[in-house]
Amino acid sequence: MDLTIVEIAAQIPADDPLKAWWEAAAALPENTGTNEFFAKTLKAASDAQRVKNTNVPAGQRVDGYPAPVNGPVTTNATTGIQTFVSTYSVRTLVAVNLDVAISPLA
């Protein structure tokens, strides 16, 4: 089971322009779940951040897309398939009284 893009869009405030963007977004590719979409997108953002920060002095680097944190590898005793849990995240500056992300950390 996974969330759908429709379920996510429903939780965005009606007056937020992102709501209309999500509602108009194309369907995900066939056999691609929302979890996979976000995992691949956030991994790509982390990789793009690493590339963008090459030769950028400390204090000026983009710092909003940390690398995923991977858990230990486990092996399914029945199938022998090895897996791990990977946690993706975004860091952003949020105005306390607005509950709105106002900028990525830099």
Q: pLDDT value at position 3?
A: 93
- pLDDT tens for each residue of 60-98: 999 999 999 999 999 999 999 999 999 999 998 877 776
In a domain, 12, yes or no: no
Q: Is 61 part of a structural domain of the chain?
A: yes
8 is a domain residue: no
DSSP conformation letters of 17-85 = HHHHHHHHSPPPPTT--HHHHHHHHHHHHHHHHHHHTTTPPTTSS--SSPPPEE---EE-TTT--EE--
DSSP 8-state secondary structure symbol assigned to residue 105: -
Quick check: is 27 in a domain? no
Residue 65 within a domain = yes
Mean local confidence (pLDDT), 39-58:
96
What's the pTM value of the predicted model, to 2 decimals? 0.82
Residue 8 has pLDDT above 90, yes or no: yes
Q: What tokens appear for 5 in the block?
A: 């893009």
In a domain? residue 55 = yes
- The pLDDT value recorded for residue 87 is 97
Q: Which residue has the higher pLDDT, 61 or 100?
A: 61
- Looking at the structure of the chain, the number of domains it has is 1
Q: Is 96 part of a structural domain of the chain?
A: yes
For residue 48, give its domain range: 33-104
